[in-house]
Amino acid sequence: MARTPSTGPSERFDRAYYRRFYGRDGVHDARRIAHLARGVTSLAAWWRIPVRSVLDVGAGPGYWRDWLAAEKPRVRYHGIDVSEHACRTYGHERADLATWRPSRAYDLVVCQSVLQYLDAPACTGAIEALGAACRGLLVLEVPTVADRTSTIDPAGTDLDVHWRSGTWYRTRLRREFVEVGAGLWVSRRSAAVLFELERSR
């Protein structure tokens, strides 16, 4: 049974949350995101997916923004977050992905550690929003119930989330995306050509 998070987003994703789960003792820091961003943008270039615009969902401390500003300053960046603290501190648009709808499409959409906080109807709406926002490549990170026992470091991970199977997510994502692995999904609107073995079965 899915576990229901204990507080609303305004109270939950506060300064204390960011101190605990980001930076030195958290799962993500600027150095790790730099590795990911470099790899993702290189693969996008390999697949001839232009990256001229990036949407960062649950943008948090803005690690993607900072990397892009340093390495790809011509790329247009837009960050959204449901947290008042994150938006006030890091300058993002405040938005709830479950109800937010994009006014434009982006070449690259990043969604890390967001969907697990949403109940099933809200998560389905959020996945629909990702499909509407992405015309190129999606970077998706969300822990599944299988990860809870085999992959996650409980010391640096928020475990008070909705635990779902990978199949639950894939069923909804495949309406708008083709899975290529390593958390990467290509929009069905993209003109990218993938070999058979580049695509997940």
In-domain check, residue 163: yes
Question: Which residue range(s) make up the domain with 94?
Answer: 30-198
Alpha-carbon distance 132 to 129, whole Å? 5
CB under 8 Å to 178, separation ≥6 — which residues?
A: 185, 186, 188, 194, 199, 200
In-domain check, residue 5: no
In-domain check, residue 135: yes
In-domain check, residue 8: no
What are 101-125's pLDDT values in tens digits?
999 999 999 999 999 999 999 999 9
In-domain check, residue 39: yes
Q: Please state the pTM of the whole predicted model.
A: 0.89
Reported as a pLDDT band with limits 50, 70 and 90, residue 150 is confident
Report angle CA 79, 85, 91 to the nearest 5 degrees. 35
| Number of domains the chain is built from | 1
In-domain check, residue 13: no
Reported as a pLDDT band with limits 50, 70 and 90, residue 2 is very low
**CATH code at 82?**
3.40.50.150
Q: Among 201, 200, 196, 195, which residue's Cα sits nearest to residue 46?
A: 195
Comparison of pLDDT for 17 and 159, the residue scoring more = 159
Reported as a pLDDT band with limits 50, 70 and 90, residue 131 is very high
In-domain check, residue 180: yes
pLDDT at 28: 79
Give the residue-averaged pLDDT of 174-193.
Answer: 97
In-domain check, residue 57: yes
Q: Do the Cβ atoms of 52 and 76 come closer than 8 Å?
A: yes
